[in-house]
Amino acid sequence: MAPSLDLANLPDADVVTLAQQGREAAFRELLRRYERPVFSLIFRMVRDREISEDLAQDTFIKVLNHIDKYRPEFKLSSWLFKIANNVAIDHLRKRQLDTISIDGSPHAASAAEVEATSFDLTARQESALDEMEARELGTSIERAIARLRPEYRSCIMLRHVEGRSYEEIAATLDLPLGTVKTYIHRARHELREALEHVKGPGY
Amino acid sequence: MEHRHLLPDEIDQLLDGEAGFGVAPLQAHVESCAQCRAELAEARQVVSALERLPHLAPSPMFADRIMSQVQVFEPWHVAAIDSVKQWVPASRSARVAGIATTAVVALVVSVAAVWTAVRLDAFLFFFDLAGQRVRVALFDAVGSAIASTFGDAAVTALRVGGITAAVGITGFLALVVLAAVGLRAIFATARRRRT
């Protein structure tokens, strides 16, 4: 039997080392630390609880099953967020393709047709969003985030919800630093515009 | 700076708390311009709302579902160290006693090993003597068993025939054993079929 350790007080790197030594408790500690941040990031990207859980599950399984390949010079959280963002973006791309194909315009001949299908996609997202907002994400700020482009969404979440620096976000998302700054600045401007009509500190 | 309002990027610079060349004039402008001050306050309010967003929780069985698909692999050296640690006493006094005992045993074994190496000829002599006695006792026991089973003639044949006779007798015994096992199997199968 492995000796008992106070895992909650250990830094990530030490918990990862214990996980690499096959300690199940260390795997569970990593899950306990990051299940909410990873799930929140994905949920705010794809806006569907069931799908978000599946994608978050995929993220953790990928990371934990390859924990022996972890390089300590990177933050574990950055690795997790990178994979979480990738699975969320992949899902959004697939969903977009599915919607276009359902709507019968995989080979749209004119700009008007493309516009028609993209309008339909937005309408679907809005209706799904309406239902979700009623339950969990009812605030104006959440609604405004939902209307951002996915790239802006992940950047703004990492910057202001997870408190990451621009440099960390650039490394996590494999984007140039300038691009990250641009995305975050544009996201803030769009949020400000979306929330202009809302008064009070609560949004 | 006095003649125009702040650009969006300049408001972002102030939001990010950048402290470089050119930030001081922006701050000075904000202090003197009510419109830019209001705009900056509004931007700060958005950032503050973002920072207050809670982490959302997945369903309660989320971690268990993941762990059921994670391969927890314990390397052999970790397992070995854990096994050893199991035997290490918990209390300090017991650990000291254990270490002292181990040291004494190690010392005795080391002295014995050194003595054996130094007096190798004596060791080989005693080893050879013991080997001879064991051999004689073994041959006597085997000879008695063969004599009581097959008679003195078998023992004589074994002494005269040497290896050939030994192989013949062993082969015969093996055939007898195989035949017995085969018959037992046939009877067992027949019994199972009847039932």
The percent of residues in chain A predicted with pLDDT above 90, rounded, is 59
**Best CA proximity match to B77, nearest among A126, A104, A22:** A22
User: A9-23: per-residue pLDDT in tens?
Assistant: 899 999 999 999 888
List, in order, residues 6 or more apart from B97 with CB less than 8 Å away: B89
| Domain annotation covers residue A128 | no
| Domain annotation covers residue A7 | no
Closest approach of chain B CAs to the CA of A179, in angstroms? 14
CATH code (residue A165): 1.10.10.10
pTM listed for this prediction: 0.63
Q: Which one-letter amino acid corresponds to residue B123?
A: F
Q: Which of A36, A185, A191 sits opposite B55 (nearest CB)?
A: A36
- Calculate the average pLDDT of chain B: 85
Q: Count contacts between A and B (CB, < 8 Å).
A: 110
Which chain B residues are within 8 Å of A43, Cβ to Cβ? 56
Domain assignments of chain B as residue spans, ordered by start: 8-51, 95-127, 142-195
A102: left (phi over 0), alpha (psi -120 to 50) or beta: alpha
| Domain annotation covers residue A131 | no
Are the C-beta atoms of residues A62 and A90 closer than 8 Å to each other?
no
Q: How many domains does chain A have?
A: 1
First to last CA, chain B: 107
pLDDT value, residue A50: 94
Element (H, E) at B58: none
Distance separating alpha carbons of residues A4 and A18, to the nearest angstrom: 11
Buried (b) or exposed (e) across A82-120, using 16+ Cβ within 10 A?
Answer: bbbbbbbbebbeebeeebbeebebeebeeeeeeeebbee
User: Residue A163 and residue B51: Cβ atoms within 8 Å?
Assistant: yes
Closest approach of chain B CAs to the CA of A110, in angstroms? 36
* A142 part of contact set with chain B, CB < 8 Å: yes
Q: How confident is the model at residue B1 (pLDDT cuts 50, 70, 90)?
A: low
Which chain A residues are within 8 Å of B45, Cβ to Cβ? 201, 203
User: B158-190: per-residue pLDDT in tens?
Assistant: 777 777 777 887 888 899 999 999 999 888 887
Are the C-beta atoms of residues A187 and A152 closer than 8 Å to each other?
yes
Q: How confident is the model at residue A108 (pLDDT cuts 50, 70, 90)?
A: very low
Tell me the ipTM for this assembly: 0.75
* B72 part of contact set with chain A, CB < 8 Å: yes
Closest approach of chain A CAs to the CA of B106, in angstroms? 27
| Domain annotation covers residue A173 | yes
Q: Is B77 exposed, middle or buried, given 0-12, 13-18 or 19+ CB atoms closer than 10 A? A: exposed
User: Residue A142 and residue B59: Cβ atoms within 8 Å?
Assistant: no
DSSP codes of every residue in B80-99: HHHHHHHHS-SSHHHHHHHH
* B56 part of contact set with chain A, CB < 8 Å: yes
| Domain annotation covers residue A202 | yes
Distance separating alpha carbons of residues A121 and A124, to the nearest angstrom: 5
Question: What token pair was written down for A37?
Answer: 């941040």
CB pairs under 8 A, 24+ apart, for B177-182? none
Distance separating alpha carbons of residues B184 and B187, to the nearest angstrom: 5
The residues in A 155-174 lying below 8 A from B, measured between CB atoms, are: 156, 160-161, 163
Among B48, B50, B65, B67, most A C-beta atoms within 10 A, so best to mutate, is B50
- How many beta carbons lie within 10 A of that of residue B95, not counting itself? 12
> Average of pLDDT values for B141-148?
84
**Least confident span in A22-26, A102-106, B142-146:** A102-106
* Residue A66 DSSP label: T
Distance separating alpha carbons of residues A39 and B60, to the nearest angstrom: 13
**Best CA proximity match to A45, nearest among A154, A143, A194, A188:** A154
User: Residue B53 and residue A142: Cβ atoms within 8 Å?
Assistant: yes
Q: Which one-letter amino acid corresponds to residue A46?
A: V
Distance separating alpha carbons of residues B36 and B192, to the nearest angstrom: 99
The whole domain housing A154 covers 139-203
User: B39-77: per-residue pLDDT in tens?
Assistant: 889 899 999 999 999 999 999 999 999 999 998 877 788
| Domain annotation covers residue A64 | no
The residues in A 55-84 lying below 8 A from B, measured between CB atoms, are: 56-57, 60-61, 64-65, 68
Nearest CA in chain B to A138: B53
* B45 part of contact set with chain A, CB < 8 Å: yes
* Residue A150 DSSP label: H
Are the C-beta atoms of residues A56 and A84 closer than 8 Å to each other?
yes
